[in-house]
Structure 1
Amino acid sequence: MGRYFYDIFIEKGLTENTAVYLNMLILLAITVVLVFISDYIAKNILIRAFHVFAKGTKTKFDDLLIDHKTPNYVAHLVPLVIVLKSFPITFSDFPDFEKPIEIILEVYAVLLFLWMLRSVLRTLESYFKTKPRLKDKPIDSYIQVVMLFMWIIGIAFCFVLITG
């Protein structure tokens, strides 16, 4: 698939250089369209599934997950996987792009994971505040400390990815 359009352009008489760039642009456009469609579909399916699940349970926790947008962040995993899988095919003729863009995608994956964890932690914070036994506990402080360590580790991980 990666050289499909390239072969068509060569058959049509375009120069090799032009065919390589046009092939990359078409594959990139296809990837962008797939990413937007998959993000929209995944987000709608996950949000609906969470709403259906939340209506069927008595607990407040799943409602809080929805309120803190956890399904939205989880839905972003689908387009990320599509980009990670299609990227080597799309830019197969441009090896100089491969490493920098791969690093950017890995950093985005780390940040997305941190956003998901932050959303879950905020959900836990809100949930614990609804429990009478925990009303006098400094839940906010505990969650802040966990988030601080989580962000430090995440930023360190991003730094390692960027610097190699």
Structure 2
Amino acid sequence: MDKLINEFSIGLFFWQLVLFIGLVLLLRKFAWKPILDAIEKRESGIEDALKSAENAKLEMQNLNADNERLLKEARAERETMLKEARDMKNKMIEEAKTEASESASKLIAQAQASIESEKKAAIADLKSQVANLSVEIAEKVVRTELSNKDKQLQLVETMLDEKSLN
């Protein structure tokens, strides 16, 4: 240190000072300024990224809320549609049962009417056959009875006796 103080020269000091100031100016212009600009750009980029991330986060929250709302609406609509479908199914089943019951009642009524008319026709036919048979039997009996004179007289007497008793 003593040597430095003893050999001190103002000229050398001046040129060292000029070179140091020049070096500082050159560093400021070519090194510090670009470094500071890059740091500022990076800071602004980080701030923009943080703002974008925050905006994306808010947008995601909004989208999630919208999705939840849409899901709730879709579930409610699905439940409504299922309820309507169940009601429609039950209504169709009831209508089909009612229609089947009415159809069965009509068929039963038609069958009963058909049975009744067939029964009446059968009875009428039976009466007609019985009448024909009765006439044929009576005719045969009368022929056999009337072929013999004694039997004819006996038949007339029996009929007269029956008439007088009634």
Global fold match (TM > 0.5): no
Task: Tell me which structure has the larger Cα radius of gyration.
Answer: 2
RCO (CA 8 Å, sep 6+): is it higher in 1 or 2? 1
Larger proportion of helix:
2
Question: Taking structure 1 as the reference length, what is the TM-score of the superposition?
Answer: 0.29
Question: Taking structure 2 as the reference length, what is the TM-score of the superposition?
Answer: 0.29
